[in-house]
Amino acid sequence: MTKETIFLITVFLYSVLVAFFQLSYFFLFPIFIVLIKEKDYIFNILKKLFFLNFFIIVLVLFVFFQNKTEAVELFFRTNLILLFSISLFYKSKGYDIVRGLDGLKISAKVVSVFYFTICLIDYLLLDFKKTKDSLKARGFSANTSMFCYETYGNIIAMIFIKALKKSEDVKCSMNARGFVDKIYFLNISNIGFLDKFLFFSVLIILLKVVYELFS
């Protein structure tokens, strides 16, 4: 089992634990472990969580006017799951998740779809950054003029066309190489002590909660 596979299972178990069982202080322990593991990136992790909370707060407000208790619980549950997931996969660019899915013996076609989707997203993000830098170099500034809206429309259309062209190019390239639905990965990641400790701590907390529920 690869490190990425263990991470995916850990996130799934923790999400089930937080989403479906009564909130407990025990749920903070795995977060504490993963933050120690990623101590050099804590500020960046919290910054990401802060920006995601703009969307969470909108969702919570809809629930708040119906049931205040459920709204508060929703806020804490969502933040716990997001903080844990972001911290665990902070240094991942998406390919680690694909490697984890492959380790779970998910269908090779599904893994391939995820892999090429991430590749395409990376390509489009890089192209968008180049376009943005080009506009900035030409003195373009965002405003409410018709020219600005036309520029944004042209950029979106161009990205869409490039996405179609890139996907067709990748398809032709892979067919020429005899690709048969399966991506092969090198297992180069080592499972550290904290990774194992994190996995078993989440598993033990989940078993404890389930035992208390049915005892």
Give the chain's mean pLDDT.
84
Model confidence pLDDT, tens digit, residues 120-173: 888 888 888 888 888 888 887 777 778 788 888 888 888 888 888 888 888 888
pLDDT digits (tens, 9 = 90+) for 64-85: 888 888 888 889 999 999 999 9
pTM of the model: 0.76
Measure Cα distances from 72 to 31, 56, 65 in Å.
19, 11, 11
The region, left, alpha or beta by phi > 0 then psi within -120 to 50, assigned to residue 177 is alpha
Nearest Cα to 51, choosing from 99, 83, 19?
A: 83
Q: What is the pLDDT of residue 189?
A: 67
Structure tokens at 194: 């904290």
**What integer pLDDT is reported at residue 188 of this predicted model?**
63
Q: Domain coordinates of the chain in residue numbers?
A: 3-99+188-214, 107-176
The 10s digit of each residue's pLDDT in 91-113 is 777 777 888 888 788 888 888 88
Euclidean distance between the first and the last CA atom of the chain, given in angstroms as a whole number: 33
pLDDT of 209 higher than 80? yes
Which residues lie below 8 Å from residue 40, measured CB to CB, with a gap of 6+? none
